[in-house]
Amino acid sequence: MGYKIRKIKAREVLDSRGNPTIEVGLKTDSCCARAIVPSGASTGVHEALELRDGNKKRYLGKGVLKAANNVNKIISKKIIGFDCRKQREIDNALIELDGTENKSRLGANAILGVSMAACKAGALCSDKKLYEHIQKMSSAKKMLLPIPQMNVINSGRHAGIENDIQEHMIMPVGFKKFSDALRAGVETYHALKNILKKKYGAKSILLGDEGGFAPPIENVEGRLELLLKAIGEAGYSGKIKLALDCAASEFFDDNVGNQRRRESKILGLSETKSRQFPSISKNLKVFDKKGIYKILNKKYSQGRLVDFYKSLEKRYPVISIEDGMSQDDWDGWDLLNRELGKKIQIVGDDLLVTNILRIKKALNENACNALLLKVNQIGTVTEAIDAASIAFKNKWNVIVSHRSGETEDSFIADLCVGIGANQCKFGAPARSERTAKYNRLLKIEEKQGNKAKFAEF
């Protein structure tokens, strides 16, 4: 069988938001594969660079012809001739060819398109399912069908609202099969749709980027109450829990300067004590020296924000909080994890950006206990696998995630199973770019039969 890569071609196509993205086709003597790269809306500043053309006359500057051209004229010359089964060799060559820390020369979107296409070709040429091929590369001890995190109520950047908690999710954890968990999530989603339509009218059930609804509710508590009502009406009370993606970097204001340091000095309160005792910070209104958090019309210091999250965890069955602090607020993350990390899942996304160096720093800082894994944050398949491996070794959970600008490519569903991730985050059970991933997981579960194992939380 011919394993050597003979041809690579990239083109500009559209993602789920109607923005350009990269599709890469790859051929060997015996197989063909193609991959489409997703794109995020609320992106961390430490992510690998997504290369855009910047020409306002085409796609409002979002074109990706430069990235496609980099694949066709630069990357292809380097990668043609490689054995498609040798994923690490291919990815290392791509990283070396780019030569920058954030893949800014060639573009992470160009590099990832080739990496994903090579991975798919490697599976085909090895006569393996994609998730089996990925498991072999990752040396995962077991394959799991993941618990879905389903973003059913949108706010923040995903719903065109500034300074707000971004995602309100349901997590069907009380089930023994992925298909049963998915069905429970879907039924709850439709129960929520009916509740919203009756209470707020047809406009409230228009869909956001990730398939969730954006009802006119201006507080987190009201949204969580609605989710509990929908879960109850669907008949899954106690079996479906709640999760939040706060995307705190989006409502963090760093223009406060050294206010906290000045106020601490005036009040005679050390910064160490103000971090350790959030109730003191709350009462004395001491703000973080780097800035403050603004949720709608309310302002929060680190301590106040952690107290807010603690109150939500006490009143609602919230079992996971993602990006509860801003991407460089390491003190805030340490405080949040100390206060809540033994009770619930504290997930790093913008904090970690699927980057091993930042994951290691988070481990040293005790900043969180779970990794949100996005392949386009780092730019190659093997780097994503390595990020998951270090997380697992340190007993973190791993959640494989989509982006708000998704595509019909279901690669991340196989990635999730192949690395043995505990959870997946693919959005609401609506819009084909989301359901493509859920449908792929259903097929994998069916294929595995009695060997299929559903993850536990």
Structure pTM?
0.91
Name the superfamily (CATH) of residues 147-451.
Enolase-like C-terminal domain (3.20.20.120)
Catalytic, out of 374, 383, 425, 437: 374
- What per-residue confidence (pLDDT) applies to 63? 98
- Residue 437 is a catalytic residue: no
Catalytic, out of 23, 47, 187, 210: 210
- What per-residue confidence (pLDDT) applies to 256? 56
- What per-residue confidence (pLDDT) applies to 282? 38
Those residues of the chain that have pLDDT short of 50 are 257-289
- Residue 374 is a catalytic residue: yes
Give start-end residues of each CATH 3.20.20.120 domain in the chain.
Answer: 147-451
CATH code assigned to 5-127: 3.30.390.10
Task: Convert the chain into a string of H (helix), E (strand) and C (coil).
Answer: CCCEEEEEEEEEEECCCCCEEEEEEEEECCCEEEEECCECCCCCCCCCCCCCCCCCCCHHHCCCHHHHHHHHHHHHHHHCCCECCCHHHHHHHHHHHHCCCCCCCCCHHHHHHHHHHHHHHHHHHCCCCHHHHHHHHHCCCCCCECEEEEEEEECHHHHCCCCCCCEEEEEECCCCCHHHHHHHHHHHHHHHHHHHHHHHCHHHHCECCCCCECCCCCCHHHHHHHHHHHHHHHCCCCCEEEEEECCHHHHEECCCCCHHHHHHHHHCCCHHHHHHCHHHHHHHCCCECCEEEEECCEEECHHHHHHHHHHHHHHCCEEEEECCCCCCCHHHHHHHHHHHCCCCEEEECCCCCCCHHHHHHHHHHCCCCEEEECHHHHCCHHHHHHHHHHHHHCCCEEEEECCCECCCCCHHHHHHHHHCCCEEECCCCCCHHHHHHHHHHHHHHHHHHHHCCECCC
- Tell me the pLDDT tens digit for each residue of 150-207: 999 998 766 667 788 999 999 999 999 999 999 999 999 999 999 999 999 999 999 9
- What per-residue confidence (pLDDT) applies to 263? 39
Give start-end residues of each CATH 3.30.390.10 domain in the chain.
Answer: 5-127
